[in-house]
A and B are shown apart, each in its own frame.
Chain A
Amino acid sequence: MDVIKSVYDFITGFGPSVMMPIIITLLALVLGARFGRALRAGITVGIGFIGINLVIGLLFQYMGPAAQGMVQNWGVTLDAIDVGWPVAAAIAFGTQIGSVIFIVGLLVNIIMLVLRLTKTVDVDLWNYWHWAYTGSLIYVATGNFWLGILGSVIHAAFTLKVADLTAPVIQKYFNWPDLSIAHGWATASMIIIWPMMKFFDLIGLEKSAEAAQKSDLDRLRERVGVMGEPVLIGLVLGVIVGLLAYVPAGLTFGDLLGKILQLAMSMAAVMLLMPRVVSILMEGLVPLSEQAREFLQKRFAGREFYIGMDSALMIGEPLTLTVAFLLVPITLLLAVILPGNHMLPFGDLAATPFFVVMVTPFMRGRFWRTLITGIVIMVVIMYMGSIWTPLITATAQSIGYAFPEGAARISGFGNVFGWPLVMLSQLLFGK
């Protein structure tokens, strides 16, 4: 046992860009892939990690000092940068919990299928990162690896259960076959959505379940759609932060202009480059995901089940997009006015559709219900991120992410189920 542990520690000690390829390759082989395919998958994932690290480096090189400048000059307490979900995923996969999350997640799914506790077959391996994130935070908070694994298991089980519960409404709304949304974040957001549904029914807002007037919605989306362009968000945010950070610093005009433009361009670059490098990582997971699906479909053939999918399938829904675009400036405003908030929304601003993607089918297309619920969600997860900043930063550092001198702390929007679990573990078992 000790030998296995020391070999394991040795491999994971090399960092995710070496560890993940080995794990992915082995897992693919176990699930029946040919050696060449398995190896290529593993290496591609490793390259994806290296790419993500490069972009993170870019982010901190420019954003770090600027955020510090903002804090120093204005006492703006937004010193925790929301690094965005791709970085969070990279951190989650990079920890020791992350290294085994595919095995853990698949085992949980298989056991639940066998015990008929779920109908969902979730081979959306990419999104196992949400479970790994919860587990990793618990591991860092408690110092206990097995508690971390337990946290991931609980989160996974919760996700699969909620996937089953939400499937009928979603299938009806989108006119889908036997799919369910087994997404670690989207299912967690139901914790806010279900009560909000009751609340709106109670106060009688938008009682009739008619979809918002299509033409009005289209016109609104026309006008606010520009707020959904990631590169533009990066550019504009870079300019705003640059102005706040460097104007009071008494630089010459030339220096000032240079610093602001460099920051703006770097932020725009991060917004475009990050999804691209994550895409590489994803390419590596595709063969593994397919092997897993074939494996599970063969073992559980003949039973009625749902194929668990990414919530990205619902992103294009017009109302979701419209509300998401509106949430971009609203979220920034909330960040500034919410008392005690430390998080500067950045990396997730281009991903606001993901935060409201579950709301639309359950509010059945009613605009105000969807928008208000979206705002409630943003407030809750922003506070969560703000509060857990130290833990997130510690988790990133634990796997070797080196932040340059004077860089701000890192953060991200919270998971409505996972993080209360983290809090529980801290209260009960905290170091």
Chain B
Amino acid sequence: MASARKKRVLIVCGTAIATSTMVAMKVEELLREHKIEADIRRCMTSEAKTAAKDADLIVATTQVVDVAIPVISGIPFISGVGVEQVKQEIVNALRAM
């Protein structure tokens, strides 16, 4: 049963500059499209472990280890390959929480 609490999505990237900007924009668009309420935050890989404690889902463009929440690869958003698939994955993951 999906909770009504606002979901928290964490965008994790190598530098939280280059790749995360595009991914954050796309995820925002996606959530608006599907009318999912969520807070989006961005951080670098080295900060991921701490930041993950206050998040429900990670969308990352790089490898993320040491976290207890689900991680979905956001690489399709920047490569353009497999975008529809990853969009579905994210929506499903958030709806299931």
Number of A residues contacting the other chain (C-beta, 8 Å)? 38
B22 in contact with A312 (CB, 8 Å): no
User: B46 touching A312 by the CB < 8 A rule?
Assistant: no
Q: A177-B82, A179-B75, A307-B79 are in contact. Are A321 and B45 (CB under 8 A)?
A: yes
Contact present for A229 and B45 (CB under 8 Å) = no
A312 touches B81 (CB 8 A): no
Q: Is A353's CB under 8 angstroms from B14's CB?
A: yes
The contact of A283 among B12, B21, B49, B63, by CB within 8 Å, is B21
Q: Which residues of A contact B22 (CB under 8 A)?
A: 282, 286, 289
Complex Cα spacing A176 to B14, Å: 17
CB proximity to A under 8 Å, residues B40-68: 44-49, 60-66
Q: When A315-B14, A316-B64 are in contact, do A309 and B79 touch as well, CB less than 8 Å? A: yes
The residues in A between 339 and 398 inclusive whose CB is less than 8 angstroms from any CB of B are 351, 353-354
Asked if B13 is at the interface (CB within 8 A of a chain A CB), the reply is yes
Given contacts A179-B75, A315-B62, A321-B46, contact A307 B81 (CB under 8 A): yes
Q: Which residues of B contact A313 (CB under 8 A)?
A: 14, 19, 61-62, 75
Contacts of B60 in A (CB 8 A): 316
B13 touches A312 (CB 8 A): yes
Residue A161 at the B interface, CB < 8 A? Answer: no
Please, which residue of chain A has its CB at the minimum distance from the CB of B82? A177
Among A225, A312, A325, the residue within 8 A (CB) of B61 is A312
Interface of B is mostly: mixed
User: Given A314-B62, A316-B60: A279 and B75 within 8 A (CB)?
Assistant: no
> A318's contact among B13, B16, B63, B75, by CB below 8 Å, is which?
B63
In the complex, what distance in Å separates the CA atom of A136 from the CA atom of B97? 51
Query: Chain A's nearest CB lies how many Å from the CB of B51?
Result: 12
A278 at interface, CB cutoff 8 A: yes
- Candidates A178, A229, A286, A297; contact of B47 at CB < 8 Å: A229
Q: Please give me the residue from chain A that is nearest to B65 by CB atom.
A: A318
Is the C-beta of A105 less than 8 angstroms from some C-beta in chain B? no
A310 is contacted by which of B12, B14, B46, B65 (Cβ under 8 Å)?
Answer: B14
* Total B residues in contact with A, Cβ cutoff 8 Å: 31
Q: Complex: how many Å from CA A178 to CA B22?
A: 20
Cβ of B78 < 8 Å from any Cβ of A? yes
| A174 CB contacts on chain B under 8 angstroms | 63
Asked whether A40 is an interface residue with its Cβ less than 8 Å from the other chain, the reply is no
Tell me the A196-217 residues at the B interface (CB within 8 Å): none
| Interface contact A316-B63, CB-CB below 8 Å | yes
* Contact of A218 with B by CB under 8 A: yes
Evaluate contact between A278 and B17: CB separation under 8 angstroms.
Answer: yes
Interface residue? B88 (CB, 8 A): no
Q: Is the CB of A228 within 8 A of B46?
A: yes
Is B18 part of the binding interface, using a Cβ–Cβ cutoff of 8 Å? yes
> Does the CB pair B21–A275 fall under 8 Å?
no
Query: Which residues 219-247 in A have Cβ within 8 Å of B in the complex?
Result: 225, 228-230
Contacts of B13 in A (CB 8 A): 312, 315
Contact of A255 with B by CB under 8 A: no
In the bound complex, CA of A126 to CA of B14 (Å): 14
Residues of A within 8 A of B78 (CB): 309-310
Query: Which B1-59 residues have C-beta < 8 A from chain A?
Result: 12-22, 25, 44-49
- CB neighbours (8 Å) of B65 from chain A are 218, 316, 318
Q: Are B14 and A86 closer than 8 Å at their CB atoms?
A: no
Chain B nearest Cβ from A313, distance in angstroms: 5
Q: Measured between alpha carbons, how far is A141 from B65 in the docked complex, in Å?
A: 45
* Chain B residue with Cβ nearest A126: B18
From the candidates B15, B21, B25, B82, name the one contacting A315 in the complex (CB within 8 A). Answer: B15
Contact of A297 among B45, B64, B80 (CB under 8 A): B80
**Minimum distance in angstroms from B20 CB to a CB of chain A:** 8
30 pairs, A vs B, C-beta closer than 8 Å: A177-B81, A177-B82, A178-B81, A218-B65, A225-B49, A229-B47, A275-B17, A278-B17, A278-B18, A279-B16, A282-B18, A283-B21, A286-B21, A286-B22, A286-B25, A307-B81, A309-B78, A310-B19, A310-B78, A311-B14, A312-B13, A312-B14, A312-B19, A313-B19, A315-B13, A315-B14, A315-B15, A316-B48, A316-B62, A321-B46
B positions within 8 Å CB-CB of A: 12-22, 25, 44-49, 60-66, 75, 78-82
Across the A-B interface, give the 10 residue pairs with the lowest CB-CB distance, nearest first: A312-B14, A315-B14, A316-B62, A316-B63, A228-B46, A316-B45, A282-B21, A307-B79, A315-B62, A275-B17
Given contacts A321-B45, A354-B15, list 11 more A-B pairs with CB under 8 A: A177-B81, A278-B17, A279-B21, A311-B14, A312-B19, A313-B62, A313-B75, A314-B62, A314-B63, A316-B60, A351-B15
